[in-house]
Amino acid sequence: MQSVVSPTSPPKRSFLYDPNVRGIFYQVLLICVVGYLFYMAATNVVENLQRAKIASGFGFLDVTAGFDISQTLVPFSAAGSTYRDAFIVGLLNTLIVSAIGIVFATILGFTIGIARLSTNWMVAKVAMVYVELLRNIPLLLQLLFWYIAVLGPLPQPRDSFQLGAGFFLNSRGLFMPRPVYGADIWAVVAAFAIGIVGTVLFRRYAKRQQEATGRQYRVGFVSLALIIGLPVATWIVLALASVNPVSFDMPQKGTFNLRGGMQILPEFVALLVGLVTYTAAFIAEVVRAGILAVSKGQTEAANSLGLKSGQTLRLVVIPQAMRVIIPPLTSQYLNLTKNSSLAVAVGYPDLVQVFMGTVLNQTGQAVEVVMITMGVYLTISLVTSFVMNIYNRRVAIVER
């Protein structure tokens, strides 16, 4: 019997003293205790809600909302939209400000991070002052600064600044012409798609040529010409043939606001600028740390091979620095997304403002609303870090 259970172990003392069995026992016990705590909390909440006669359940999501939201990426109206629609509107608003914020914060952060290491004294100090100033002031104050002190004093709609044809700036936001696509827009879209495919093929060709012959092509210039130039050329040809693929809905002065056109709300701008400039300061430090982590010998080796300083940075330093940069950069992306919930302070209708604010208050179902909101932020964060981890695995050092 003994030999069947564990043929290699010395003569068995007691089942109770087996460290493996004990280990498993404690793990199971812990899971049971944690599970029981959650179960108790959940049943307690349900009981308390029932006793206090507070409505519960998720049925409220299908009830007509009855309020309006200033920025909606999908159609929403007080007339027929439900609380579920309000949730989707808030979620999309959070996602769009986070996505755009991440792109700009990355660009600005890398620029400033590299600037901090510049040999030019002035550039390095300006970058340092930027970083120290922005990362040491609470984000909420910065948002209020952008919203109240910078965007607040813009003129009333009647005295709008006009920035070229069809562009107006006033206290209600930035107004610009809204493109109205004609039936022939497919030609321009097709040209754009061809441009992208062409670029990919050309890059592959150029790389193979370079590896084979050492000859270099102007890849950037050709890519630009294909992706931007081709659709523009198509458009011009179509316009000359007087089948205009795109017409513009221009903003007009109305009684109160400008009418028509496309409007970018000052709340959105304040939140975006605040998030981007704040997060960029942290990303700059991450980038600086990453670059400094690449040993100086790499730069010297690259220089001795005759690479220019730009090429050294782009081809030698940054790729190695990325290994150090990616994990903390992921945290900054997550921070930016979560910080977007400070939108409440400047009246931007993000998920927290719309769902945890208005919806929670109109329905009174705090438990459900808070749970959904927490679930959403958790999901967004997990997806972001999943994607970044895939990228991290690709750039991570491959040991040979």
Partner 1 sequence: MKKAIASIAFGLMAASFVATGASAQATLASVKQKGYLTCGSNTGLAGFGLPDAQGNWTGLDVEFCRAIAAAIFDDPTKVRFIPLSAKDRFTALQSGEVDVLSRNSTVTMSRDTQLGLDFPAVNYFDGQGFMVRKKLGISSAKELNGASICTQQGTTTELNLADYFRANNMKYEVVAFATSDETFKAYDAGRCDAFTTDASGLYSERLRASNPDDHIVLPEIISKEPLGPAVRHGDNQWGDIVRWTHNAMLDAEELGVTKANVDQMKGSDNPEIKRLLGTEGKFGEAVGLTNDWAYRIVKHVGNYGESFERNVGEGSKLKIKRGLNAQWTKGGLQYGLPVR
Residues near partner 1 (CB under 8 A) are: 41-42, 44-45, 48-49, 51-55, 66-70, 78-79, 148, 152-153, 156, 171-172, 254-257, 259, 266-267, 341-342, 344-345, 347, 349, 352-353, 356-358, 360-364, 366-367, 370
Q: Using the minimum distance from each CB to partner 1, give the nearer residue, 272 or 316.
A: 272
Q: In 298-361, where do the E strands start and end?
A: none
Closest contact distance (angstroms) between CB of 41 and partner 1 is 5
Q: Using the minimum distance from each CB to partner 1, give the nearer residue, 341 or 392.
A: 341
Closest contact distance (angstroms) between CB of 315 and partner 1 is 43
Closest contact distance (angstroms) between CB of 249 and partner 1 is 16
DSSP 182-193: -TTHHHHHHHHH
Q: Using the minimum distance from each CB to partner 1, give the nearer residue, 65 or 230.
A: 65
Distance CA 246, CA 235 (A): 9
Closest contact distance (angstroms) between CB of 391 and partner 1 is 30
Q: Using the minimum distance from each CB to partner 1, give the nearer residue, 23 or 375.
A: 375
Closest contact distance (angstroms) between CB of 177 and partner 1 is 19
Q: Using the minimum distance from each CB to partner 1, give the nearer residue, 52 or 397.
A: 52
Q: What's at 31, amino acid-wise?
A: I
| Strand 246-249 relative to strand 178-181, pairing | antiparallel
Q: Using the minimum distance from each CB to partner 1, give the nearer residue, 258 or 321.
A: 258
Closest contact distance (angstroms) between CB of 152 and partner 1 is 5
Q: Using the minimum distance from each CB to partner 1, give the nearer residue, 177 or 357.
A: 357
Distance CA 251, CA 258 (A): 6
- Residues with Cβ within 8 Å of 214's Cβ and at least 6 positions away in sequence, in order, are none
Distance CA 317, CA 299 (A): 7
- Residues with Cβ within 8 Å of 180's Cβ and at least 6 positions away in sequence, in order, are 246, 247, 248, 249
Report which of 376, 352, 356 is spatially closest to residue 366, judged by C-alpha positions: 356
Closest contact distance (angstroms) between CB of 162 and partner 1 is 18
Report which of 104, 368, 28 is spatially closest to residue 376, judged by C-alpha positions: 368
CA 99 to chain centre: 3
Closest contact distance (angstroms) between CB of 364 and partner 1 is 4
Report which of 236, 238, 257 is spatially closest to residue 158, judged by C-alpha positions: 257
In three-state secondary structure terms, 170 is strand
Q: Using the minimum distance from each CB to partner 1, give the nearer residue, 45 or 197.
A: 45
Distance CA 93, CA 349 (A): 7
Q: Are 291 and 111 in contact (CB under 8 A)?
A: no
Q: List the beta bridge partners of residue 174.
A: 169, 264
